Structure 1
Amino acid sequence: MDKKKDEPWFSDEWFWETYGPLMFDEKRLSETPSEVDGIIRLAGLEDKSEILDCCCGMGRHTIEMASRGFSMSGVDLSAGYLKTAIKDAKEKKLDIEWKRMDVLDMDYENRFDAILNMFSSFGYFDDPEDDLVLLKKMHSALKDDGVLFMDMWGKEVLARDFEERVWFEREEGLKILLEYSVDLNWTELHNRWLFFKDDKMTEYSFHHRIFSAYEMSVMLGEAGFEQVDVYGDFTGSLYDHQA
């Protein structure tokens, strides 16, 4: 597979089209309503709040929240995922503002009551300093009493449950191998995903930074956030050894 060297891996439509069914299978999609229940409760969202889903993907949270009466906007770099999101929203007759852009180009000011950043959609930029840039942009986009809700795998949980190789099978003879390794003193996770079907193999490798609860709390403070609450799941359980 050929890619332009100056393009980040997450701008590659081939990746999302090929691996989307793995990341967003029926089980994960079925969990969306209960996740939204948790978002609304933990973030203290009120009816008709204006909310931005930053890195919205195919819009599973955006659309679910719009169906509950929230004023939703979704931003993502993947044209394919946004096409799916727009189609789904239209079929459900939901009015959602969609934008295709690099989230580092966002220039919202004091607009949203809440911002969502879901499914570990953080830490992928080539330049680590851009992580803080994005947090500052999200802070600027929020109203004075706005809330940022982030969903990610914490470094502590990843270390506890870490497996170097995971094999599993899907329908129609599809076999999948996921390989993981950590680098740079447990600050970066390397992923190698392989699909096997009909004697053919597709492979993709990428990496992203991983953060502990403390590291994220410090960075959020640097971005201007005054209070950081950390939970172990969408029910609001403690972020501890059982998270």
Structure 2
Amino acid sequence: MKTKDWFTNWFNTPYYHTLYKNRNDTDAQLFMKNITEFLDLPKSTSILDLPCGKGRHSVFLNSLGYKVTGADLSENSIKHAKKFENNHLKFEVHDMREPIQNQYDAIFNLFTSFGYFEDDKEDLLILKNIKQGLKKDGFFVFDFLNAVKVKANLVTKEVKVVDNITFNIKREINDGFILKHISFFADGKEHSYTERVKYLDVNKMKLYFEKVGFTITNIFGDYNLSTFDANTSNRLIIVAK
């Protein structure tokens, strides 16, 4: 494991979970309901949630009746998620760059969990791994930010106070990446992390999917599954087979 990967360090800290603890589960659940209904997934469907973080979407998908595996690079997150395991819900530590051991009816990559790497080859490798982890006729659901709208509405500076920690956030787009610099003082010392996500617009993603051999069936722009519009949509959601 390369130590320089920003996400390995940041996602494993308790501060990451503090900063994002008020993330909107209602949105996530609405999306899960809408997409599983849209794809008409029978309850026997096996779903891989990759990466799953602390498992909130996996747990909800499981509550809808699906057999779910959540996988994530962060050992901290998986340790937390394992508390929710049952006969039809399992969690494991897994790096997306490694081949997926089993095959699933559907694989979900949710909430901008992609585009972390310098080299396009690594992004393509992840998509190849996902393709190989799907059963024949399986669905891949990819949910990413809408880069064009993010660029147009970039909030360059923001301060968030959560659990008495003041997070100073600066955002910029530089060298093909959307960067979010997070600095704060906690537990007696200064901390700073940078989240880095590649600037991937719909055309670039279409190219990626094509290169790997996915067939795109739908492109949506939000969790209500509205039609994607590059200028106004909040999300870039791609369904492929």
User: Which bracket does the TM-score occupy, shorter chain normalised?
Assistant: 0.7 to 0.9
Change (3 A) 1:212 1:44: farther
Q: Which residue of 2 aligns with 1:177?
A: 168
Whole-angstrom CA distance in 1 between matches of 2:13 and 2:37: 31
Give, in whole Å, the separation in 2 of the partners of 1:85 and 1:198.
Answer: 25
Q: Identify the residue that residue 46 of structure 1 maps to in structure 2.
A: 42
Aligned partners of 1:56 and 1:217: how far apart in 2? Answer: 24
Residues 213 and 230 of structure 1 are in contact (CA less than 8 Å); yes or no, is this contact kept in structure 2? no
Counterpart secondary structure, 1:31: helix
CA RMSD of aligned residues (A): 2.3
Letter in 2 for 1:35: F
- Deviation at residue 223 of structure 1 after TM alignment: 1.0
Kindly state the Cα deviation for residue 95 of structure 1 after the two structures are TM-superposed: 3.2
Q: CA deviation at 1:198?
A: 8.6
Percentage of matched positions with identical amino acids: 25
1:154 deviates by 1.7
Q: CA 1:237/1:74 → structure 2, altered by over 3 Å: closer, same or farther?
A: same
Q: TM-score normalised to the size of structure 2?
A: 0.86
Aligned partners of 2:95, 2:43: CA distance in 1, in Å?
A: 29
**In the superposition, relative to structure 1, how do residues 14 and 232 fare at CA in structure 2: closer, same or farther (>3 Å)?**
closer
Rounded Cα–Cα distance in structure 2 between residues aligned with 1:13 and 1:169: 18
Of 125, 147, 154, the residue aligned with 2:146 is 154
Equivalent residues in 2 for 1:17-166, closer than 5 Å: 17-25=14-22, 27-87=23-83, 89-90=84-85, 93=86, 95-108=88-101, 111-166=103-158
Kept after mapping to 2: 8 A contact 1:113/1:147: yes
Deviations, residues 88-130 of structure 1 (Å, cap 9, x unaligned): x14xx45323221211112346x21110001100011343311
Length-normalised TM-score, structure 1:
0.86
Tell me how many residue pairs correspond in the alignment. Answer: 232
Whether the aligned pair in 1 keeps the contact of 2:6 and 2:193 (CA below 8 Å) is no
Give the aligned partner of residue 236 of structure 2: none
Give the strand-richer structure, 1 or 2: 2
Q: Residues 70, 138 of structure 1: CA spacing in aligned structure 2 closer, same or farther, 3 A cutoff?
A: same
Q: Residue deviations 1:113-159, cap 9 Å, x none?
A: 11000110001134331100110111111122111111110211211
CA shift, 1:194, in A, is 1.7
Which fold has the larger relative contact order, with Cα–Cα distance below 8 Å and residues 6 or more apart in sequence? 2
Unpaired runs of at least 5, structure 2: 234-241
1:10 to 7, 12, 15: 7
Provide the rounded CA distance (Å) in 1 between the counterparts of 2:130 and 2:11: 28
Shift of 1:5: 6.9
Matches of 1:38 and 1:201, distance apart in 2: 42
1:54-86 per-position Cα deviation (integer Å, ceiling 9, x unaligned): 111111111111111101111111111001111
| Structure 2 equivalent of residue 204 of structure 1 | 193
Q: Distance in 2 between matches of 1:81 and 1:131?
A: 22
SS of equivalent residue, structure 1 residue 237: coil
**Which runs of 5 or more structure 1 residues have no equivalent in the other structure?**
none
User: Are the counterparts in 2 of residues 176 and 193 from structure 1 also a CA contact under 8 Å?
Assistant: yes
Q: Which deviates the most, 146-155 or 28-37?
A: 28-37
What's the counterpart of residue 233 of structure 1?
222
Compared CA separation, residues 35 and 191, structure 1 to 2 (3 A)? same
